[in-house]
Amino acid sequence: AQRVTQPEKLLSVFKGAPVELKCNYSYSGSPELFWYVQYSRQRLQLLLRHISRESIKGFTADLNKGETSFHLKKPFAQEEDSAMYYCALRFGGNMLTFGGGTRLMVKP
């Protein structure tokens, strides 16, 4: 069965510091991974997907099949990055399974 693990429930950094939100997955098929973000009082929204290999709001994530990881990184955190971040794995068409989420707090 598919599984997504985010080992950190809370990550607190100072503004300007690098940030890395960890995500590991287990899946027997070919993985498609995403990062979703939920800002305070807003709905969940897509941040980025591994297929696009894009940088959104300064965030990047590389799929490492050897380590079965898809960590989210940003070199210089901003206060507006404070939010809940969910790593998700797509399986069976359009179904998503989510990790437990990591709350990122960026302190001034």
Partner 1 sequence: GAVVSQHPSRVICKSGTSVKIECRSLDFQATTMFWYRQFPKQSLMLMATSNEGSKATYEQGVEKDKFLINHASLTLSTLTVTSAHPEDSSFYICSAPSGGIGTDTQYFGPGTRLTVL
Residue 58 CB coordination number (10 Å): 13
Structure letter (DSSP) for residue 76: S
Residue 44 touches partner 1, criterion: CB under 8 A: yes
Radius of gyration of the chain (CA): 13
For partner 1, the binding residue among 21, 23, 34, 106 (CB under 8 A) is: 34
- Could you give the CA distance from residue 48 to residue 108 in angstroms, rounded to a whole number? 25
Helices (H), 16-76: none
The distance of closest approach from Cβ of residue 51 to partner 1 in the complex, given in angstroms and rounded to an integer, is 7
Residue 28 touches partner 1, criterion: CB under 8 A: no
The distance of closest approach from Cβ of residue 100 to partner 1 in the complex, given in angstroms and rounded to an integer, is 5
The distance of closest approach from Cβ of residue 4 to partner 1 in the complex, given in angstroms and rounded to an integer, is 9
For partner 1, the binding residue among 49, 59, 85, 89 (CB under 8 A) is: 49
